[in-house]
Structure 1
Amino acid sequence: MDDERFPGLHRRGFLAATGAASLGALALAGCGGSGSEGSDAKGDGTPKRGGRLRAAFAGGGAGETLDPHLANLFADAARAKAMYDKLADYGADLSAQPRLAEKWESNKTLDRWQVTLRKATFHDGKPVTAADVLYSYRRIADPKQAFRAKASLDPIDLDASRATGERSIEFVLKRPTAELPNILAAFGAYIVPKDASDFDKKPIGSGPFRFVSFTPGRSAVFRRYDDYWEGAPHLDELEFVVANEESARVNALLGGQVEYAHELNPTTARAHEGKGQIEIVRLRNSAMQGFAMKTDRAPFDDKRVREAFFLIADRKELVDGALSGAGVIGNDLFGKGYEYYADGLPQRAQDLDKARALLKQAGAEDLKVTLDTSAVAAGFTESAGIFRDQAKKAGVTVDVKMGSKDSYWADILDNGTLCCYRSGALPIEAHISQRLLTDSTTNATKWKHKDFDALYQQAQSTRGKTERAAVYERMQRRLYSEGGFLIWGFADWILGTARNVGGVSTKAPANTLDWARFDKVWLA
């Protein structure tokens, strides 16, 4: 029976699915340690044991699954994190932190790595072994499947890799890489028991919560696993409920039907922050916001035009207008605050006179371009309108074209010349490998330079971290001067919680390890 005060909210706390909420370009990523650092503790700040926390997420309808290798939505990722573990996960600065892997070590040529597992058990009491890891990775890499982590695991030669003991594995790589831990932390690279196949009726993981029940598109219930290797959760139970509309999540939180609401917009946050009814949590630096210029076609095949567009942008106006101030300005580089970020480059500011001069040098006076956008992501339509008005001051006519929410990400990958773009947290190395190499599968700017590819390979095969950082800085300096991403800001990811919820991290970007760490949360 529906509760008339909250349409779609059922008496037992279930929120009916009203459509899919894709991650789009948001990629997933983690924070190491105990999970308590940077926590936002309510009440008296003392963790308490017991109770059921209900968390509202946008969902994927009747097609949802608990198969962690098929995770694609935020709800999928949060449920997978509750039930399963990876060998590693990403820290707040997007460096890889050990999880099920207790330690790792490479040979001198960086093409063989020894990984030692910590002592951990699955929910049926069986130990997590090297055989489970190899089964999981080979399942993900199955060419007949469409598991998202498949591309991330590609550098590993799984035919040659082998167990060297019950809790030790030798990973053989197809090419030297200094950053195998990033691969171990890849989104979706969860470890499941050997030969596991029934993930929706009797799933077994090694995570902090064990399975109780699952209704696709409606609800999933999990119970504390007392023998979890990192310590039992504070909560007795955790329930995920589905609410696709932000208003439904907020109303459920305000009405006491849930204690945690994922992904609130800046307007909602401003309306409730500091008012005492609910708590607003801002996860800084969670989403890159920008425009992608295709560098292989006119007018952006001329780097002077790209530089002019860098100088047209008033970044503060874009952050204030498109994000309602819920973010910080960018500097045309991905990963602000992340490991290897080149933070020594001058902050770019609007310079319309220089922009006009560059356009004149390029023979692009009175330039007209189409900017593809969509309501697929927060701030996209707003930023398109703001940038259109900014460009007009430099003599550039921008025609804003609205695209379909359902097909936007596929449409803009190869088509058009200029589009709105965003990305979630992931390592700078992964951003480069996925989007900026000649053979990258999601190269929205069509940045293809063999010498740039060679620098990436050099970084991957450089053992020393300081020396490797220097190579990444060289690459970023080039992108800063002539790349195709105009990155104007980094948005906060906003959560809402009831006032009696403690232990929610305020330091980890969305989809890092300490995001949705419900094993560290308690009810005061």
Structure 2
Amino acid sequence: MTTPHTPRARHTRRAFLGAAGGAAALTTLAAAGCSAGSTSGTPEPGTDAAGSPRRGGRLRATFAGGGASETLDPHRTNLFVEAARAKALFDKLADFGSDMSPQPRLAESWEPSTDATRWTVRLREAVFTDGTPLTAADVLHSYRRITDPEGAFRARASLESIDLDASRAVDDRTVEFVLKHPYAEFPNALAAFGAYIVKDGAEDFTEPVGTGPFRFVSFTPGSSMVAARHDAYWDGAPYLDEIEFLVANEETARINALLGGQVEYAHELTPTTARTHEGGGQVTVVRLPRSAMQAFVMKTDRAPFDDPRVREAFFLIADRQQLVDSALAGAGEIGNDLFGKGYQYYADSIPQRTRDLDRARALLREAGAENLTVRLDTSEVAAGFVEAATVFAEQAAEAGVTVEVVMGNKDTYWSDILDSGQLCCYRSGSMPIESHISQRLLTDSTTNASKWQREDFDALYEQAQATLDEAARTDLYARMQRTLHAEGGFLVWGFADWIIATANNVGGVDREAPANSLGWARFDKVWLA
């Protein structure tokens, strides 16, 4: 199967924002009831101390939340906790595997026309939690709801390649999607964040009905949601009897609840917390690799970074391992100035760039940029940003470059750095490489922070989307990445782990799934020993 995205269908799968607040988090968790079970013994990396799968029990998982504004409308999910709850109650036509390639879910198969402008999607035999079967009408209603301009739904941009007026139900289990232009990566759209399938006509989600592995039981925004096993789930009934999502906005509250036996799963922990408890025997720490790209972005349309020699010099100034060790506390791996390490289409044949201060100084002399002073915008909007900026300023000084670190407002940072400044700290959650290119690197991309604008690059992307042969398309992506590696505006210095922890009696947690992928928060495959 071939795999969504066009220059006008921009993903915004940036890492979700954890809301502040929640002073009563520990009290809420303490009231959750029943103990976590045994926490003795620590598994070897990549193994389950919980042994073989077994059925039964309620797993309690704690996430940062958003207070009274939280929703169970799957098309409005924004926070990690909302995404995890949506995954428990609903499903999409496809979802992203650990390499960010689209994997069939409610779609049993997809088939393009020869020109990649029509895609025929065959649905699985699946049922909603009220017993009604999934149909093509449900899919078309869901996508039309998402693309309603009055709805402001997050997945709307990802589905804009579809002409939904021309698309139709061929029969109850077959949908023909008509696209506005060739799109070889269309299955990426089916897997887009928030593109969940709901019942035909559904608008009220106070008691949601979905095709997911769990059925709704109760919900208190900003506090708790309980769901029970959906025995007729198309992918096999979950091992758990119930899953409860609990909110604790402070990381200390989440790890203390886990240590105290009030929950069995704690989401989003810092490297410091992970080091403190890893190997201690009380909990199991799980690191989800390559979950977040870490970078500096150079504005290629203005001085000094409109000169490719200056950009190359900055690539060579960076000591990537020191940045990973300092800004990420070692919880990650170095980057090579390209997005998507380990993902489908990643050009891993390009040699790893290493630090070379002599060559950096020579390039700056050639560019007439000796004794250069550059502003670096950073903020506390993301963990490690300020540390990364400080470390890079010290590294640049060794090449004779003065980097002035400027602290920005964390509430407006992402909009502030989109068009202004010269150099800024940046990160991205996991998404397909095609989506990164479409969203950030085309002339008309809506979040083009590096101001990379090349007609030849745009043409290669368009050619890739009209190319159904995967090998030929892979070669086109490699050509684009070689250009970006040589003279692009993203100095990608690292990829951060996403860290969670569980009680030692929890089995089945996917240890290879980046955040936002199919295996992340996959509670239908988890069990309690």
Q: TM-score scaled to structure 1, two decimals?
A: 0.93
Is the 1:40–1:506 contact (alpha carbons within 8 Å) kept by the matching residues of 2?
A: no
- 2:253 aligned residue (232, 244, 248): 248
Deviations 1:74-96 (A, max 9, x none): 11110110000000001111111
What is the CA–CA distance in structure 2 between the aligned matches of 1:39 and 1:7, rounded to whole Å?
Answer: 30
* Segments of 4+ moved more than 6 angstroms: none
- 1:471 aligned residue (462, 467, 476): 476
Is the 1:89–1:97 contact (alpha carbons within 8 Å) kept by the matching residues of 2?
A: yes
- Equivalent in the alignment of 1:13: 32
Q: How many percent identity over aligned positions?
A: 69
Contiguous gaps of at least 5 residues in structure 1: 15-37
Alpha-carbon shift at residue 7 of structure 1 (Å): 4.5
Deviations 1:334-354 (A, max 9, x none): 000110000111110111111
Amino acid at match of 1:188: G
Is the 2:28–2:223 contact (alpha carbons within 8 Å) kept by the matching residues of 1?
A: no
- 1:74 aligned residue (74, 77, 80): 80
- Equivalent in the alignment of 1:216: 221
Alpha-carbon shift at residue 298 of structure 1 (Å): 1.1
- 1:42 aligned residue (25, 32, 49): 49
Is the 2:102–2:188 contact (alpha carbons within 8 Å) kept by the matching residues of 1?
A: yes
What is the CA–CA distance in structure 2 between the aligned matches of 1:322 and 1:379, rounded to whole Å?
Answer: 5
Is the 1:39–1:507 contact (alpha carbons within 8 Å) kept by the matching residues of 2?
A: no
Match of 2:158, SS?
coil
Alpha-carbon shift at residue 42 of structure 1 (Å): 2.3
- Equivalent in the alignment of 2:94: 88
Is the 1:6–1:252 contact (alpha carbons within 8 Å) kept by the matching residues of 2?
A: no
Is the 1:208–1:228 contact (alpha carbons within 8 Å) kept by the matching residues of 2?
A: yes
- Equivalent in the alignment of 1:161: 167
Is the 2:29–2:262 contact (alpha carbons within 8 Å) kept by the matching residues of 1?
A: no
Alpha-carbon shift at residue 143 of structure 1 (Å): 1.0
What is the CA–CA distance in structure 1 between the aligned matches of 2:47 and 2:112, rounded to whole Å?
Answer: 37
Deviations 1:38-69 (A, max 9, x none): 974222x2111111111111111111101110
Alpha-carbon shift at residue 246 of structure 1 (Å): 1.0
Match of 1:285, SS?
strand
Residue 180 (1) aligns with residue 186 (2): yes
Deviations 1:140-191 (A, max 9, x none): 0001121111000011111100000000000001001111111101110000
What is the CA–CA distance in structure 2 between the aligned matches of 1:144 and 1:157, rounded to whole Å?
Answer: 17
What is the CA–CA distance in structure 2 between the aligned matches of 1:308 and 1:13, rounded to whole Å?
Answer: 55
- 1:308 aligned residue (298, 313, 316): 313
Q: 1:40 to 1:214 in 2, by over 3 A?
A: farther
Alpha-carbon shift at residue 6 of structure 1 (Å): 7.4
Is the 1:40–1:504 contact (alpha carbons within 8 Å) kept by the matching residues of 2?
A: no
Residue 142 (1) aligns with residue 161 (2): no
- Equivalent in the alignment of 1:118: 124
Contiguous gaps of at least 5 residues in structure 2: 1-22, 34-44
What is the CA–CA distance in structure 1 between the aligned matches of 2:223 and 2:28, rounded to whole Å?
Answer: 10
Amino acid at match of 2:154: R
What is the CA–CA distance in structure 1 between the aligned matches of 2:119 and 2:402, rounded to whole Å?
Answer: 53
- Equivalent in the alignment of 1:53: 59
What is the CA–CA distance in structure 2 between the aligned matches of 1:49 and 1:11, rounded to whole Å?
Answer: 25
Match of 2:86, SS?
helix
Amino acid at match of 2:269: L
Is the 1:51–1:237 contact (alpha carbons within 8 Å) kept by the matching residues of 2?
A: yes
Is the 1:39–1:504 contact (alpha carbons within 8 Å) kept by the matching residues of 2?
A: no
- Equivalent in the alignment of 1:394: 399
Q: 1:258 to 1:10 in 2, by over 3 A?
A: closer
What is the CA–CA distance in structure 1 between the aligned matches of 2:339 and 2:323, rounded to whole Å?
Answer: 17
Is the 1:42–1:503 contact (alpha carbons within 8 Å) kept by the matching residues of 2?
A: no
Alpha-carbon shift at residue 370 of structure 1 (Å): 1.1
Alpha-carbon shift at residue 11 of structure 1 (Å): 3.5
Q: TM-score scaled to structure 2, two decimals?
A: 0.92
Amino acid at match of 2:161: P
Is the 1:267–1:324 contact (alpha carbons within 8 Å) kept by the matching residues of 2?
A: yes
Q: How does 1:273-288 map to 2 (within 5 A)?
A: 273-288=278-293
What is the CA–CA distance in structure 2 between the aligned matches of 1:88 and 1:267, rounded to whole Å?
Answer: 35
- Equivalent in the alignment of 1:461: 466
- Equivalent in the alignment of 1:328: 333
Aligned length: 497
Root-mean-square deviation (CA, aligned residues, Å) is 1.5
- Equivalent in the alignment of 1:28: none
Alpha-carbon shift at residue 452 of structure 1 (Å): 0.8
